[in-house]
Structure 1
Amino acid sequence: MRALLILLIGVLVGANVVYFAMTRSVRDAGVQRDARVEPAERLAQHDRIDAGDAASVAVAPTAEPASGAQTPRSARPDSSPAPVDAVRAAASKPAGLIVPVRGVAAGTLVDTYTDARSEGRSHDAIDIMAPAGTPVLAVADGKVEKLFTSDRGGLTVYQFEPGGRYAYYYAHLQSYAAGLHEAQRIRQGEVIGYVGSTGNASASAPHLHFAIFLLGPEKRWWEGTAINPYPLLRASAP
């Protein structure tokens, strides 16, 4: 009887040992599996960026260069290609122009092209001061494309040069020359109007507002790329 009891106790102890060993083995295997899989899953989660985060990353500003460091030219704003019209304007400009106000010498002209105007505008022209009624002359040969009256420019003339590449703009006129009409062919030096102060010009400072525009392929008289007339008119100085 005693031997049987000892045998039963031995069987129970052995069973417990086997059960414990099997449980530990399974738990260790699970830990090893988690150790292999979990880091990969966490990395995958960290690598995923939602659309909002992606957008913020894409537009994140780059750090400014340290003081004295040179910014690579490719990163500078001025490295962007210039507008096609601006490139064309720089490549070829009208030549042989005369000062479009009788009696005004080229050497007395003042460059007001970049002067600021209301509403954040730039002048994009030069003002040629002269007494009211002074004859305004065609700066070059060409054709009267448009006679127009505007709030700012007052009485104006748009002249196209013969090739239709450039438009010459005369504004604030007191009046047109007698008989002037659209599509009229005019010659350099011909009187087309008279200095005034119509539009938004001051009555106490009559002048000719003169501008030059490089026209686009549509040849629209109201559009174009402005070119500074000052150096072109100064070139006519003796």
Structure 2
Amino acid sequence: MTRLGWIILAVVLLFAAAFVSMTSFGTADRRMTRVDTPPPPPAETTAGPLVVPVAGVRRETIVDSWGDPRGGGTRGHHGTDIPAAQGTPVIAAASGTVEKLFRSVRGGTTAYVRSTDRRWIYYYAHLAAYAPGLREGQPVRAGQQIGNVGDTGDAGQGNYHLHFGMQRMRPGERWYQGEDVDPYPMLAARARGR
């Protein structure tokens, strides 16, 4: 074969290899996950949705605020805001252990509760105050008061609400390292016929 023949053969083989690397011939798993499919519920809530974390608030009144613009449009909202009167009790959405009590610029007075199976963090922000005696390492049960609705952090004065967030945790991750997950489907589940 001539030198030109070898070059043409090499080019053809390169194109064939590139084509094969980008093509599936039926051996791959063809299951697809819809982007809008809610994540599976945390293990301790498989019998139903999470407890609404603000006393007296009905599921059907919760509005989906996931992804709404924040910070002048520089970031998306990673949680569900639940408006309520100042001082309304904030209750644990699921059982777990208080992992961190923290005051931050954005979240204000916050509490992080890790689920009993350690796979989830439940995040409560803009609290006016913690429930009396609440401390890190304390076990809490679903429905137990952990604080009160406030407007701390960047909520804005008089904008009383609970910012409720969820993070999926991997083994060994700390309270601030999880992957944000939209909590709305598990807060409003019954209202949508689940």
Q: State whether residues 141 and 161 of structure 1, in contact with CA within 8 Å, keep that contact through their aligned partners in structure 2.
A: yes
Identify which of structures 1 and 2 has the higher relative contact order when contacts are C-alpha pairs closer than 8 Å and 6+ apart.
2
2:98 maps to which of 128, 135, 144: 144
The alignment's TM-score, normalised by the length of structure 2, stands at 0.75
How far apart, CA to CA, are the structure 2 residues paired with 1:164 and 1:232? 18
Q: What's the offset of the Cα at 1:227? A: 1.3
Match in the other structure for 2:78: 124
**Structural RMSD (CA):** 3.4
Q: What's the offset of the Cα at 1:141? A: 0.8
Match in the other structure for 1:32: none
1:133 maps to which of 59, 65, 87: 87
Instruction: Identify, as 1 or 2, the structure richer in strand.
Output: 2
SS state of the match for residue 149, structure 1?
strand
Match in the other structure for 1:108: 61
Match in the other structure for 1:212: 166
Q: Which has the larger radius of gyration?
A: 1
Q: State whether residues 164 and 219 of structure 1, in contact with CA within 8 Å, keep that contact through their aligned partners in structure 2.
A: no
Task: Return 5+ residue gaps in structure 1 as ranges.
Answer: 1-39, 48-71, 75-81
Q: Tell me how many residue pairs correspond in the alignment.
A: 171
Match in the other structure for 2:41: 93
How far apart, CA to CA, are the structure 2 residues paired with 1:157 and 1:208? 11
Task: Return 5+ residue gaps in structure 2 as ranges.
Answer: 9-21, 25-31
How far apart, CA to CA, are the structure 1 residues paired with 2:115 and 2:95? 6
SS state of the match for residue 133, structure 2?
coil
How far apart, CA to CA, are the structure 2 residues paired with 1:123 and 1:147? 21
The alignment's TM-score, normalised by the length of structure 1, stands at 0.62
Q: For each residue in 1:167-219, what CA deviation from the matched residue of structure 2 results, as whole angstroms up to 9, or x when unmatched? A: 00000000000000000011111110000000001112110000011012223
